[in-house]
Amino acid sequence: MLPTRLRLAASVLAGALVLAACGSDGGPDPEETGRRDRAVTLLRDFGLSEADAECVTDRLGSETVVEATDMAILASGQPYQDAAEACGA
């Protein structure tokens, strides 16, 4: 039978190894990258240049743009107006 302290240390070490194995590799999140690309495409289809669409997406968040049911409604909101003004769109 292992002493309690040794079992506890082994458990902590095992937990640390699991966390290290599951940790982020620092690369981009494919889901977020795809969402951002979709948001930029939606804004480009709405009439923005690529640079403006990327800037507005970065300011509003890709999820906000992608989940908007109507780009005209999104564009009429104050957050979009603020983002567009900041981006020069």
30-42 residue pLDDT tens = 777 789 999 999 9
Q: Is residue 40 part of a domain?
A: yes
Instruction: Give mean pLDDT, residues 18-32.
Output: 61
pLDDT of 83 above 90: yes
Instruction: Give mean pLDDT, residues 52-58.
Output: 95
Q: Is residue 46 part of a domain?
A: yes
Q: Is residue 18 part of a domain?
A: no
Domain of 54? 30-87
Number of folded domains that form the chain: 1
Q: Is residue 11 part of a domain?
A: no
Q: Is residue 2 part of a domain?
A: no
Q: Is residue 59 part of a domain?
A: yes
Mean of pLDDT over the chain: 80
Q: Which long-range contacts (CB under 8 A, 24 or more apart) does 55-62 make?
A: 55/83, 55/86, 55/87, 55/88, 55/89, 56/80, 56/83, 56/84, 56/87, 56/89, 59/83, 59/86, 59/87, 62/32, 62/35, 62/36, 62/38
Instruction: Give mean pLDDT, residues 9-27.
Output: 53
Q: Is residue 14 part of a domain?
A: no
Share of the chain above pLDDT 90, in %: 57
pLDDT of 28 above 80: no
